[in-house]
């Protein structure tokens, strides 16, 4: 009986190739992606305004941050970070604006490039850093992000003419 299990384990293990690349994500998948996530490259490439198109968490963002739009204002090549200008309309007559520092980092060693953004949000009387993972991007029109606050997010780019 033990011989059967040992043989089955060896046969199945060998049939799947090298075990280090059999992890579902990210070691085995990232090299196969047409555009592996690179948060710094996305910051460098996005010269246009981008909008929050979709989010999965049950938040009332249409009332809290209606028409949320973000644009990169400056980049720091050495620190691989940048500043973003954001704005949203709190009602029909007031548009609120602000600037946020955005840092990039790698989630773990499985990623070749930084694949996360870190942004501070105001919570109570403190500012707390939150991570936003870059799941997918085509670096031109679309990015899919994941965070604890918004859940899965889709952002779209409006090309400036």
The two beta strands, 126-137 and 116-123, are: antiparallel
pLDDT digits (tens, 9 = 90+) for 103-156: 999 988 878 899 999 998 878 888 899 999 998 888 888 888 888 877 888 888
Q: Which of 131, 114, 61 is nearest to 89 (CA)?
A: 61
Domains of the chain by residue range: 1-32, 34-158
Q: Which of 46, 59, 37 is nearest to 112 (CA)?
A: 37
Backbone dihedral region for residue 3 (phi beyond 0: left; psi -120 to 50: alpha; all else: beta): alpha
pTM: 0.71
Contact, 133 vs 115, CB < 8 A?
Answer: yes
Output the average pLDDT for the chain.
76
Max mean pLDDT among 19-23, 43-47, 53-57, 88-92 falls in: 43-47
pLDDT digits (tens, 9 = 90+) for 71-110: 899 999 999 999 998 888 777 777 888 899 999 999 888 7
Q: CA separation (Å) from 113 to 19, 36, 37, 38, 116?
A: 23, 8, 7, 5, 9
Assigned token pair, 59: 């938040």
Q: Which CATH architecture has domain 34-158?
A: Beta Barrel (2.40)
């Amino acid at each position: 009986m033990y011989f059967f299990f040992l043989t089955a384990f060896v046969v199945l293990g060998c049939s799947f190739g090298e075990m280090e690349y059999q992890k579902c994500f990210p070691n085995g998948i990232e090299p196969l992606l047409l555009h592996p996530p690179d948060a710094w490259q996305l910051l460098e490439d996005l010269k246009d305004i981008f909008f929050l198109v979709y989010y999965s968490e049950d938040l009332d963002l249409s009332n809290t941050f209606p028409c949320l739009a973000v644009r990169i204002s400056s980049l720091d090549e050495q620190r691989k970070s940048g500043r973003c200008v954001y704005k949203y309309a709190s009602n029909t007559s007031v548009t609120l604006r602000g600037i946020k520092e955005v840092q990039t980092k790698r989630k773990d060693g499985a990623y070749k490039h930084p694949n996360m953004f870190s942004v501070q949000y105001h919570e109570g009387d403190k500012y707390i850093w939150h991570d936003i993972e870059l799941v997918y991007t085509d670096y031109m029109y679309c990015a899919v992000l994941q965070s604890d606050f918004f859940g899965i997010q889709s952002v779209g780019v409006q090309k400036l003419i």
